[in-house]
């Protein structure tokens, strides 16, 4: 019959274990001291492991604590350095391993793998030395541990405008001027968008399985409508028109409506992108001269002279503020176009009633005629 495991303690040893059980650091020492005190009281290590601790333990674990205490005293209860499972990137720290992976994926695989444009787990394993002997699932786990995941890309364009900083500085000056002198001047973000008779495809709710939402198409000609809008960044009010074609005359008519809306302003700043029609000679001649001169985009077939076909347009107290080229993120009204697409145009059911669809878009824009705090929050001009 096996000899039962007992633990005889002197009063001094017992007091040290009691103190360790109550106040010991690290925390794992408190559990080990409690287990030894239970054995000292007469319980077997097996019973202590199964029933006497806050968490059930493997009996072999408690036997190991007992053996190490008998051999080395309280020092035997401490975990030895180097124990435990090592991370696959050891001896590197998590920060060093993360930095090396980021540096690798940031370069792209083309130099080492000319037929690949994206990294795979295996090619990462073959490239990073401390991943060479790790399985593909293991590499995935390590990347997850480092906070690196496989994500869908998004479209990205970086503005090539050499005057980017100067244009943004000028924009900030105008916004500050109109914020401090609202009685005499106003700034408006202006832009155009278009929509068709047929709905755009987007997500919607449907029964799980093969059933999917349907974007009903019309048998009629897929007509096109243009919307021209201007957003006041301080009040959230919107001026909006719909036209079949976005011509110089249509823009001038829209500018005229803006001037009627803000008839008490001495100067109106229109903040625009670099669409060439904004800088057509007849249209510019009808506006105030630019106080800051940036290069204005012009198609090669434009002479820069006034068009006799368009004729003279009546003068308007408007100055154009140019945004950087290829930088739609600098124009908040772009998010208003996103909102109307999400609310009205995605999966709409008016493809056979073109007039009703146009009216629905117009009604959506009209709700912002007198200003909207919600709109300013949506486009990012007002903190939530």
The pLDDT tens digits for 39-70 are 999 899 999 999 888 889 999 999 999 999 99
Is residue 119's pLDDT more than 70?
A: yes
Is residue 1's pLDDT more than 60?
A: no
Inter-CA distances, 336 with 155, 192, 250, 345, Å:
19, 11, 21, 13
Average pLDDT over residues 253-267: 96
Average pLDDT over residues 307-311: 89
Confidence of residue 369 (pLDDT cuts 50, 70, 90): very high
Across 285-295, b (16+ Cβ under 10 Å) vs e yields ebbeeeeeebe
> For the chain, which residues make up each domain, given as ranges?
11-77, 94-145, 164-378
Contact criterion met (CB below 8 Å) for 273 and 251: no
The pLDDT of residue 2: 53
What percent of the chain clears pLDDT 90, i.e. is strictly above it? 67
Contact criterion met (CB below 8 Å) for 232 and 225: no
DSSP 8-state code for residue 98: H
* Closest to 44 measured CA to CA, from 70, 62, 17, 21: 62
pTM strictly above 0.85: no
Contact criterion met (CB below 8 Å) for 36 and 64: no
Distance in angstroms (rounded) separating the CA atoms of residues 376 and 64: 66
The pLDDT of residue 136: 92
For domain 164-378, which architecture applies?
2-Layer Sandwich (3.30)
pLDDT digits (tens, 9 = 90+) for 273-292: 999 999 999 999 999 988 88
Q: Which ranges of the chain would DSSP assign to H, the alpha helix?
A: 11-23, 28-40, 45-47, 59-72, 94-107, 121-127, 136-145, 164-180, 248-261, 281-285, 333-340, 354-366, 373-378
- Residues with Cβ within 8 Å of 128's Cβ and at least 6 positions away in sequence, in order, are 100, 101, 104
Average pLDDT over residues 141-147: 90
Contact criterion met (CB below 8 Å) for 173 and 339: no
The pLDDT of residue 311: 87
The pLDDT of residue 113: 80
Distance in angstroms (rounded) separating the CA atoms of residues 70 and 72: 6
């Amino acid at each position: 019959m096996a000899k039962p495991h007992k633990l005889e303690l002197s009063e001094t040893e017992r007091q040290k274990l009691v103190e360790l059980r109550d106040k010991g650091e690290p925390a794992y020492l408190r559990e080990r001291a409690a287990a030894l005190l239970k054995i000292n009281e007469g319980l077997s290590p097996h019973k202590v492991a199964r029933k006497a601790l806050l968490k059930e333990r493997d009996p072999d674990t408690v036997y190991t604590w007992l053996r190490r205490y008998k051999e080395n005293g309280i020092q035997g209860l401490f975990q030895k350095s180097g124990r435990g499972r090592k991370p696959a990137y050891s001896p590197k720290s998590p920060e060093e391993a993360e930095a090396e992976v980021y540096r690798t994926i940031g370069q792209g695989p083309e130099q080492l793998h000319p037929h690949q444009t994206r990294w795979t787990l295996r090619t990462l394993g073959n490239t990073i030395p401390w991943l060479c002997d790790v399985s593909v699932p293991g590499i995935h786990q390590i990347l997850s541990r480092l906070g690196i995941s496989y994500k869908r890309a998004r479209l990205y364009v970086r503005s090539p405008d050499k005057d980017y900083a100067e244009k943004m500085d000028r924009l900030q000056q105008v916004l500050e001027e109109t914020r401090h002198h609202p009685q005499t001047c106003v700034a408006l973000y202006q832009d155009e968008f278009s929509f068709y008779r047929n709905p755009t495809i987007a997500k919607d709710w449907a029964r799980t399985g093969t059933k999917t939402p349907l974007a009903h198409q019309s048998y009629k000609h897929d007509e096109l409508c243009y919307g021209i809008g201007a957003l006041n960044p301080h009040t959230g009010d919107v001026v909006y028109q719909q036209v079949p074609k976005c011509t110089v005359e249509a823009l001038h008519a829209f500018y005229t409506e803006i001037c009627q809306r803000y008839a008490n302003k001495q100067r109106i700043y229109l903040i625009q992108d670099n669409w060439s029609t904004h800088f057509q000679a007849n249209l510019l001649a009808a506006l105030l001269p630019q106080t800051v001169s940036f290069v204005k985009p012009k198609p090669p077939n434009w002479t820069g002279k006034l068009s006799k076909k368009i004729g003279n347009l009546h003068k308007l107290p408007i100055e154009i503020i140019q945004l950087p080229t290829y930088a739609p993120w600098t124009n908040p009204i772009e998010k208003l176009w996103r909102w109307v697409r999400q609310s009205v145009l995605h999966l709409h059911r008016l493809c056979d009633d073109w007039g009703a669809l146009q009216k629905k878009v117009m009604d959506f824009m009209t709700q912002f005629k007198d200003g909207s705090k919600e709109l300013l929050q949506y486009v990012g001009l007002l903190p939530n």
